[in-house]
Amino acid sequence: MTARILLAIALSLAAAIAAAQASDPAEIAFWESVRDSKDPAELRAYVQRYPNGTFVFLAQRRLAALEGAPAGTRPQRAPAPAAVARQPHVLQPGDSWTYRLSYPRLRGQWGQAERAPVTHAVTLSSVEPGRVVDALALDGGTPVQYTHDSNSTLLAQGASIFSPYLLALGQLPPGRLRSITSTEPNCTRRFVCEAKARVAGSEPVQVPAGTFFATKVIIDQEWRGGSIAGPRMNGGRTLTVWYAPEIGRAVKYSSRITAGDQTPMDPNFDLELVSYQLK
């Protein structure tokens, strides 16, 4: 490598470091999460979200190296996806989101029948300060209404999920979330359920609807049977949620059982955003 090339790289790095002092903190966090990635899709997600960003040139050089582009070739900047807004979305009646609910085959679960995925179509009915009402239709069926508020809540809405509008209805400070409640039917009857939740930072997440820079929340839920129940009713799961502010709702849920045989809900599923329309 010639001294001229080394100097050019050094100057570009110095410029990037200096410019970073004035960069958007969200952009810096995104870049730090993908800068050493060996997955071109993650670097491309940064370029798409920040086509004029501070670190675009460095991201493009990494992409060229990973994808085998000729040395000295500077890839063209990819345009930002037209369907993904950059500002937080203000919820409006008529907003709609379509998800796919799937049930993964996990190691050790032999002999279980395949389960077909289920389409979740959600439409926002009304919006009030700290409160929204939406309607869920499963596989084109009759919509059922649900009410959501700014509290941190585990609820049954086609699957056992966590407050889908939590980021749109309030702030998510780093660290632990307090006062996690559960309205799941079995957690108020046969089981006693407890949960702890924490904000685990931000990261890019890819779903069928696209790639989003999302806030990640992890919920650890445990349950036990009533006073006369045996130990087989004790167990737990981990539910991970990714919230994308530009669509006003969670874009992905991933739930996995961690212990137990009898459960108050179906603990193993993935719920991913397929498409959406915002007013």
Confidence check: pLDDT of 269 > 80: yes
Instruction: List the single range of 35-49, 114-128, 161-175, 180-194 with lowest mean pLDDT.
Output: 35-49
- Would you say 254 and 270 are in contact if contact means Cβ atoms under 8 Å apart? yes
The span from the CA of 276 to the CA of 122, in Å, is 9
Where, residue-wise, is CATH 2.40.128 in the chain?
Answer: 96-277
pLDDT in tens, 8-33: 555 455 445 545 444 566 677 777 77
Of 83-92, 110-119, 165-174, 193-202, where does the model show the most confidence? 193-202
The pLDDT, as a whole number, for residue 154 is 95
Tokens of 18: 């200096």
Q: Is the pLDDT of residue 109 over 80?
A: no
- Percentage above 70 pLDDT, the chain: 79
Is CATH 2.40.128 the right assignment for the domain spanning 96-277? Answer: yes
Residue 278 confidence (pLDDT)? 94
Predicted local confidence at residue 74, as pLDDT: 44
Q: Report yes or no: 28 and 20 within 8 Å, Cβ to Cβ.
A: yes
pLDDT confidence of 100, banded at 50, 70, 90?
very high
Tokens of 240: 């991970």
Give φ, ψ of 260 to 5 degrees.
110, 160
pTM of the model: 0.70
How many whole angstroms from its chain centre is CA 45? 15
Per-residue confidence at 99, pLDDT binned at 50, 70, 90? very high
Strand partners, 217: 199, 241
Q: Mean pLDDT of all residues in the chain? A: 81
Average pLDDT over residues 127-152: 94
Average pLDDT over residues 169-173: 80
Q: Residues 145, 133: contact at Cβ < 8 Å?
A: yes
Q: Quick one: which H or E segment has residue 67?
A: helix 56-67
| Averaged pLDDT, 250-268 | 92
User: Where is pLDDT greater, at 35 or 206?
Assistant: 206
Classify residue 215 by its DSSP letter.
E
| Cross-strand bridge partners of residue 249 | 244
The per-residue pLDDT for 78 is 43
> What value does the mean pLDDT take over residues 97-124?
83
Q: What is the mean pLDDT of residues 256-273?
A: 91
Assign 227 a pLDDT band (cuts: 50, 70, 90).
Answer: low
Query: Residues 139-160: what's their mean pLDDT?
Result: 94
pLDDT at res. 249: 96
Mean of pLDDT values over 254-266: 90
